Amino acid sequence: MAIPPSQNAFLLVCDALFSAHASPAGHPESSARLQALSHAFSQEPLLRDAVRISPREATLEELTCVHDEKYAIDTLQRLRNGRSGYLEGDTFFSPGTRHAALCAAGASVDLALAVHQRGQATGFAALRPPGHHATQNRAMGFCIFNNVAIAAAQLLQRGQAKRVAILDWDVHHGNGTQDVFYGHPDILFMSIHQSPLYPGSGSIDEIGRGDAPGRILNVPFPPHTKGADYLAALRALFVPLCQQFRPDHILVSAGFDAHHSDPLSAMGLVADDFGAMAQMLRTLADALCQGRLTFLLEGGYQLDALANSAVATLKAALSPSTPVASPPLASPQASEIIRDLQRRIAPFWAPLSPVDNGDRTPRPS
């Protein structure tokens, strides 16, 4: 049955093949994460009727639109040997990693293209290995190929999109995506992350360069930051900048490790906070880019928190656009960080509204 244009379609990548990327015993980035997501999705009537996209391996041409050719070829060669080991300190591989990593990148491209061509759709890829730490020439932090960067670059390279906005709400800085697009005029990238935390980059003064100063945004929040501050960052930065940037597609590096129960971090989000962010993104995508909104899984290591947060995200993203009824108030600490970043990017954008921290004290003008 044809889906009427007013209905928000759900396109899903969720496939057992990613389990072939076998992790060392006890490692938090394991195939149990995708099993938890698959089970949770099967329990939700809204999520059961997804259009499924079968993963296929990315081509070398697709990888090298983001990665150095030498890195891509050398890495594929190392993964071909049928053994297990480490590409670097944190990034393990097993005999099934080559196929899984290539399919994670290929599925990200196909999902983004399918969402883009369909319009008015929500895409979600439950994939591993994750991607946002992988730089142009280096595997890092469980990541081998940068799935979100490859998907964004392919949307541009194939002439599907002129501009793409990427929001990275994984608790760790999206250093790899930043590395790929630092100075790229057609990408707006914002990472909200815990600081200090791995990988240590993503300070507030990293804002891009060259043709595109002010198009990289880093929001380094302290440990125990709550969802209201994430929403304030979206409202004061990502939403108004997208309104100026006019992306054709919004991609999300959707890690769920900012949940308060995640073992690798110390943030204070609950599952519904991810839903509230997704609701804001749905409204934004509907207003700016024909409803094109695609989520690619990054981190998230407490299985219940991962599943509940992903379900909350998708239920909100699949709901009709709704204005946020009462804007959340940012904490004083988060407000200062947001204001600081607004000041740093001010030369490159039209004026932004001040962040609302509830302070109604009259000030001299």
Residue 129 binding Zn ion, by CB under 5 A = no
- Mapping DSSP to helix (H, G, I), strand (E, B) and coil, where does residue 357 land? coil
Q: Rounded to a whole number, what is the largest CA-CA distance in the chain?
A: 69
Residue whose token pair is 């994750």: 130
Between 105 and 192, whose beta carbon lies closer to Zn ion?
Answer: 192
Where does residue 207 fall: left (phi above 0), alpha (psi -120 to 50 degrees), or beta otherwise? alpha
| Contact (CB, 8 A) for 272 and 311 | no
Which residues are within 8 A (CB) of 321 and not within 5 positions of it... i.e. 6 or more apart?
A: 282, 283, 286, 287
From 44-52, 171-179, 322-330, 340-348, span contacting Zn ion (CB under 5 A): 171-179
Q: 293 to each of 95, 155, 171, 279, 284, how far by Cα in Å?
A: 33, 13, 20, 11, 9
C-alpha to C-alpha distance for 48 and 28, rounded to whole angstroms? 27
| C-alpha to C-alpha distance for 318 and 221, rounded to whole angstroms | 28
Can residue 257 be called a binding residue for Zn ion (CB under 5 A)? yes
209-248 residues near Zn ion, rule: CB under 5 A: none
Amino acid letter, 193: H
Given the complex with Zn ion, which of 23 and 335 has the nearer CB atom?
Answer: 23
Indicate which residues carry an active-site annotation: 133
Among 33, 116, 133, 172, binds Zn ion (CB under 5 A): 172
Cβ proximity to Zn ion: between 116 and 138 the closer is 138
Compare residues 103 and 171 and give the one whose CB is closer to Zn ion. 171
Least CB distance to Zn ion at residue 40 (A): 19
Task: Indicate whether 29 belongs to the interface with Zn ion (CB under 5 A).
Answer: no
Angle at alpha carbon of residue 17, lines to 144 and 275, rounded to 5°: 75
Q: Decide if 1 contacts 7 (C-beta within 8 A).
A: no
Q: Select the residue whose beta carbon is closest to Zn ion and give its number.
A: 299
Three-state DSSP at 217 gives strand
Nearer to Zn ion, 133 or 235 (CB): 133
- HSE (side-chain half, CA atoms, 13 Å) at 123: 30
To the nearest whole angstrom, how small is the minimum distance from the Cβ of residue 257 to Zn ion?
Answer: 4
Segment near Zn ion (CB under 5 A); pick from 42-50, 117-125, 168-176, 203-211:
168-176
Told to check if 259 binds Zn ion by CB under 5 A, we report no
**CB closer to Zn ion, 170 vs 229:** 170
Distance from the Cα of residue 212 to its chain's centroid = 21
- Number of Cβ atoms within 10 Å of the Cβ of 115: 30
Please tell me whether residue 202 binds Zn ion under the rule CB under 5 A.
Answer: no
Question: What residue has token string 């244009």?
Answer: 5
Task: Compare residues 197 and 239 and give the one whose CB is closer to Zn ion.
Answer: 197
Q: Considering only residues 62, 110, 170, 262, which one is a binding residue for Zn ion as defined by CB under 5 A?
A: 170
> For Zn ion, which stretch binds (CB under 5 A), given 114-122, 277-285, 295-303, 318-326?
295-303
Query: Cβ of residue 328: shortest distance to Zn ion, in angstroms?
Result: 23
131 contacts Zn ion (rule: CB under 5 A): no
Check if the beta carbon of residue 162 is closer than 8 Å to that of residue 139: no
Near Zn ion in 299-328, by CB under 5 A: 299
Which of 255, 268, 275, 328 is in the footprint of Zn ion by CB under 5 A? 255
Minimum gap (Å) between residue 8 Cβ and Zn ion: 27
For Zn ion (CB under 5 A), the number of binding residues is: 5
Supply the minimum distance, in Å, between the C-beta of residue 258 and Zn ion: 8
Shortest Å, Cβ 286 to Zn ion = 28
Query: The dihedral of CA 250, 322, 279, 242: what is its sign?
Result: positive
Name the residues that contact Zn ion, by CB under 5 A: 170, 172, 255, 257, 299
